[in-house]
Amino acid sequence: MQLHSPYLDWDAQKALLDEIRDIVTKAPLFTPTMPRWGRPLSVRMSNCGPLGWISDKSGYRYEPIHPDTGEPWPPIPQSLLDIWSELTSYEAPPEACLINYYSPNAKIGLHVDSDEDDRNAPILSLSLGDDARFRLGGLERNGPTKSFILKSGDALLLDGEDRMAYHGVDRIYPGTSTLLNEPGRINLTLRRVTTPSGRRNHSM
């Protein structure tokens, strides 16, 4: 794990937020639901890039189109591709950028990002808005965890052994940032989904 705190200054955060708002006008936030049961998650989301992550009664997966509009996802902004290149040494660009909006009461339990074919690629996330308490564990769900605060402008890289580590967001701290127009947090998660051509994937 690598935490860059802060990585984006105030002006860069505002510029990135404007780009995300433009994306969401084209690919509106939707509410993912739990597989099988259909229970809504507390986080609303959208995506940009060739592929977007969705969750519904059919399961977790990546799709090339928005589940509500039926339109392709908007492209990943060049600014995010540049950040990926700067903070990772990976050979291929990300194919999905998850845009998760956390209201003050939203949270995500411990989970592993395992829906990607390419699990050698790192996972890079950027925080915008209110502080969040992030929890990181190990390769076993019931193993020990550690918690720390992610602030607006922070960049978090999960790579190597931490690529398949359990992690989640326990709490949002409303009013800790004035970046957004209302309390809450936006998390951007850049992921490579498919294995680059000519190389076999080796799961960790």
Cis peptide leading into residue 6 (ω within 30°): yes
- Would 98 be classed as within a structural domain? yes
How many whole angstroms separate alpha carbon 97 and alpha carbon 81? 10
pLDDT band at 198 (very low <50, low <70, confident <90, very high): low
Mean pLDDT of 83-95: 96
Phi, psi at residue 94, to the nearest 5°?
-70, 155
What's the sign of the alpha-carbon dihedral 132, 185, 36, 94?
A: negative
- Would 201 be classed as within a structural domain? no
- Would 74 be classed as within a structural domain? yes
How many whole angstroms separate alpha carbon 33 and alpha carbon 56? 5
- Would 148 be classed as within a structural domain? yes
Structural domains counted in the chain? 1
Per residue in 11-44, pLDDT (tens digit) is: 999 999 999 999 999 999 999 999 988 899 999 9
Per residue in 143-164, pLDDT (tens digit) is: 899 999 999 999 999 999 899 9
Q: Residue 56: which CATH number? A: 2.60.120.590
DSSP bridge pairs for 157: 2, 124
DSSP bridge pairs for 128: 186
Work out the number of other CB atoms within 10 angstroms of the CB of residue 31: 13
In this predicted structure, the answer to whether residue 87 has a pLDDT above a threshold of 60 is yes
Residue 117 belongs to domain spanning: 2-191
- Would 32 be classed as within a structural domain? yes
* Percent of the chain clearing pLDDT 90 (strictly above): 91
β-pair type (155-158, 123-129): antiparallel
- Would 200 be classed as within a structural domain? no
Whether 22 and 15 have beta carbons less than 8 Å apart is answered as no
Residue type present at position 154: D
pLDDT band at 141 (very low <50, low <70, confident <90, very high): confident
- Would 204 be classed as within a structural domain? no
Per residue in 53-79, pLDDT (tens digit) is: 999 999 999 999 999 999 999 999 999
How many whole angstroms separate alpha carbon 71 and alpha carbon 76? 15
- Would 89 be classed as within a structural domain? yes
In this predicted structure, the answer to whether residue 137 has a pLDDT above a threshold of 80 is yes
